[in-house]
A and B are shown apart, each in its own frame.
Chain A
Amino acid sequence: MPPRLPLGAHRALSSSPSVVRVHLQLQRRSASTSPASPEIYDVVCVGGGPAGLSLLTGLRASAITSGLKVALIEGQDLQKNKLHKDASLESFSNRCSSLTPASVKNLQEIGAWSHVNAARVQSYQEMQVWDGVSDARISFDWDSARPLLSARKPTQPTTIAYMIENVNTTTTLLSRLSALGGVDVFSPTKVESIELGNDTEKLDLSSWPILTLSNGKKLAARLLVGADGANSPVRTFAGIPSRGFDYNRHGVVASLKLEGPGWGGPDHKIAYQRFLPSGPLAMLPMPGHMATLVWSTTPERAATLKSLSSKDFIAMVNAGFRLSATDLEYLHTMTSGQEKEVAWREKHTPVNERSIPMKVVDVQEGSVASFPLKMRHADIYTGERVALVGDAAHTIHPLAGQGLNQGQGDAAALVRTISHAVQTGQDIGSVLALESYNSERYAENNAMLGVCDKLHRLYSVESGPIVGLRSLGLRAVNAMGPLKGFFMDRAAGRA
């Protein structure tokens, strides 16, 4: 049974100390004079990212839940941040995600996937993962993951996952959502405060979150959905603790151009991930010659990488897939001149070029950025009239590319929970109605968080028996098709 969230745990929220004062004044005023009564909504979603938008689209797309009155509050301007239809295919956002077939299936079911800018989505059919210390390697593709005695059926999928810019995902969902209509969108609008409503003679809103927006409007939420990111103000309001730690690692991202479309050609794209002691280095295919980089490393090295000239940065990325951990350690101590140093060292480090990504020839101007890696998990995803989805509920190490997919899974599960509640006349904000959402998602997300965390720890070890064991593990898994199939099913979100 999930821990109970006492009503007393609700507390007023403010995003900054200056807002606290404003908020307190508001409270005092409302105590003396009768404030304008809030507008009543069934679902108020704070946060217009992929998870929040997917939730609202799911609710609007279903005949069962389309009768609900819903609102979206987003601090950014959703219209301004849309992807342009004719955006150049030579330029990609550095914020990309790997969408699993399960996530894509859900987007299809809610009618969104047909709105995607397909030219900017890149499916990949193979994954190459190797140990940066011992070079033990595992390759994933559906051909080698078949059952022992049967060939892969032609109807079976060949795609492991889809690389997509986050802005493409949100634009896709917004496009579907505007076609469906019926959402009161407040954007760009900030949430000034959230507090519980009053018990008046007529109506008792003492269990309802009342949101005061930066435009002065007040909304009462039967169900308040926190899709408002890792520092979720909704989670703070609900008094739900979120636990975890920082990895003391940063993820360096960049949009890159390679010398070609990849070793498998345009129809067989390959994702690469090399586990270095400082963290995994991943090169993920984008359309054409483009690729996106995620390099998890120490904050100091991330800072160095960001300070390099384009030429030195490109040299470092190429070196990251080719040179030894010791070489890389030295290269990170240099403030410039990596290009020449790498060229010289590569001559003395024989590699099978076809087993690693094609060489980077260009880095997109201004696309090198970094973000701190964290692991966070909320104690519970639901409270009275509150549900958390996406990063508000959990933050994961990006090494398996599961973050956005977990949020999509949350949104789909919450739509199912709300749908069942509507069909059986439950108050969709009640603790009881929301229980199934928490029980369905918590264990699954927790398992994924745990696996990715353990992988990170496993590959942070540079020497000793662990290196031998983990290499043995990789080789063994690589040799066993069915076991690999199981792992790939997990990665594809089919499990």
Chain B
Amino acid sequence: MPSSSAPRALRATQRLTAQASYRPVVLSRTPRIPATTIAATVRLSSTQSSPHNPSRSSVDQTEVTHFNALASSWWDPHGPSRLLHLMNPLRHEFITRCRNSVPTPIPTSTTPSKFRYLDIGCGGGIFAESAARLPTTQSVTAIDPTPEVLKIADAHRRRDPTLLIDGRLTYLNQSIEDLALPTSPAEAYDVVTIFEVIEHVNAPGPFLEQVLQHVKPGGWLVLSTIARTWTSWVVTNVVAEDILGIVPKGTHDWEKYVNEKELRTWFAKRGWGSNGGMKTMGVMYVPGLGWKEVPGGEGWGNYFFGVRRDL
């Protein structure tokens, strides 16, 4: 680890541990995690209070401000979001891989063969638009707490008549806590996606608890994020933001990263993803070649994680 990074990383760990011991603010739905668990796990169960929405939002207002500033360039193919655009096809490949890992139930009159998506933290709509265009999609509901990026998403959607078909794509300026809970499994979603979001969320544990309720039994929760390791700290904060400048400065806060093992443990405890219903794919951006799958990459860099809600 470069010497310059050590103090910051150390401070981060101290802060996380401190929060956990002094202010174990745990929502009623969140089970307590034993104090002996490693500091990293604490991150999943702790939460920070936000001055703007102290009661229940997982949204960090600093993040909202940051993404508001990025909004106008969201769809510029050579702009600051280029890496997200380039990653998008991989998201679909990963979802397909997750779905194909378990036998598909034969569609009957009651189980439609088309899928309902919920995209949390949709931003300018890169994934939401693409999911809505797929012929296997029934509907996409996409939510984001940042009003400016949603305006961009809405404006961009008007450039494609396919996306204007009634009910195909719905944008909501809401946080997950405000989204109405499904009253029956049919109202829940076949695929719930959280791409490049949990590293921007205040408290991933309580946030994921909210998300779980929207996944249909037999459906998949799919997310992508960055592992919290020294390599990812160097790559995202120093190389990508400072040296290459391919990611806007201030986009990442390494302290918020979540590791794949933490996710596995967390979901297994809730009885999700049994019978092989948990999938991981490590990916890496190679300048000049684009995003490439890297076996084992989930241990140290960007990765996808998919977990199936048991039937």
Contact = CB atoms under 8 A, between A and B. Distances in A.
Interface of A: 1, 4, 40, 67, 199, 202-208, 222, 420, 423-427, 430-432, 435
Interface stretch (B125-133, B215-223, B293-301): B125-133
A323 B309 CA distance: 83
Nearest to A426: B130
B130 A425 contact: yes
Interface in B85-119: 85-86, 88-89, 92-93
Contacts of A204: 155, 158-159
A432 B86 contact: yes
B158 A203 contact: yes
B81 to A, nearest CB: 10
A426 B159 contact: no
Contacts of A208: 159
Given A424-B92, A424-B93, A1 B164 contact: no
B7 interface: no
A202 B158 CA distance: 7
Report whether over half of chain B's contact residues are helix, strand or loop; otherwise say mixed: helix
A436 to B, nearest CB: 9
Contacts of A426: 88-89, 130, 133
B77 interface: yes
B134 A425 contact: yes
B78 interface: yes
A432 B126 CA distance: 12
Given A420-B89, A430-B77, A67 B135 contact: yes
Nearest to A421: B89
Contacts of B77: 430-432, 435
Given A204-B155, A425-B132, A426-B133, 16 more contacts: A203-B158, A203-B161, A204-B159, A205-B159, A206-B159, A207-B159, A420-B89, A424-B130, A425-B130, A426-B88, A426-B89, A427-B160, A430-B77, A432-B85, A432-B86, A435-B77
Q: Which 6 A-B residue pairs are closest in the complex by CB-CB distance?
A: A425-B130, A424-B89, A425-B133, A204-B158, A424-B92, A431-B77
Report whether over half of chain A's contact residues are helix, strand or loop; otherwise say mixed: loop
B129 A427 contact: yes
B53 to A, nearest CB: 32
Given A424-B130, A427-B129, A4 B78 contact: yes
22 contacts: A1-B78, A202-B158, A202-B164, A203-B158, A204-B158, A206-B159, A207-B159, A420-B89, A423-B92, A424-B92, A424-B130, A425-B88, A425-B92, A425-B129, A425-B131, A425-B133, A426-B89, A426-B130, A427-B160, A431-B77, A432-B77, A432-B85
A121 to B, nearest CB: 38
A60 to B, nearest CB: 16
A145 to B, nearest CB: 33
Nearest to B140: A425
Contacts of B164: 202-203
Contacts of B160: 222, 427
Contacts of A1: 78
Among A202, A208, A424, A435, which residue has the most Cβ atoms of chain B within 10 A? A424
Interface of B: 77-78, 85-86, 88-89, 92-93, 129-135, 137, 155, 158-161, 164
Contacts of B134: 425
A277 to B, nearest CB: 43
A431 B82 CA distance: 11
Contacts of B129: 425, 427
A67 B136 CA distance: 12
Contacts of A207: 159
A40 B161 contact: yes
Nearest to A208: B159
A206 B75 CA distance: 15
A19 B132 CA distance: 40
A4 B158 CA distance: 23
A208 B161 CA distance: 11
A292 to B, nearest CB: 43
A206 B155 CA distance: 12
Nearest to A420: B89
B129 to A, nearest CB: 7
Contacts of B137: 425
A20 B262 CA distance: 66
A431 B131 CA distance: 18
A203 B89 CA distance: 26
A18 B251 CA distance: 54
Contacts of B161: 40, 203
A16 B131 CA distance: 43
Contacts of A423: 92
B82 to A, nearest CB: 8
A199 B156 CA distance: 11
A199 B92 CA distance: 30
Contacts of B78: 1, 4
B137 to A, nearest CB: 8
A431 to B, nearest CB: 5
Contacts of A420: 89
Contacts of B88: 424-426
A426 B125 CA distance: 12
B76 to A, nearest CB: 9
B158 to A, nearest CB: 4
A17 B109 CA distance: 60
Given A40-B161, A202-B164, A427 B133 contact: yes
A425 B133 CA distance: 5
Nearest to B78: A4
B287 to A, nearest CB: 10
A219 to B, nearest CB: 13
B115 to A, nearest CB: 12
Contacts of B159: 204-208
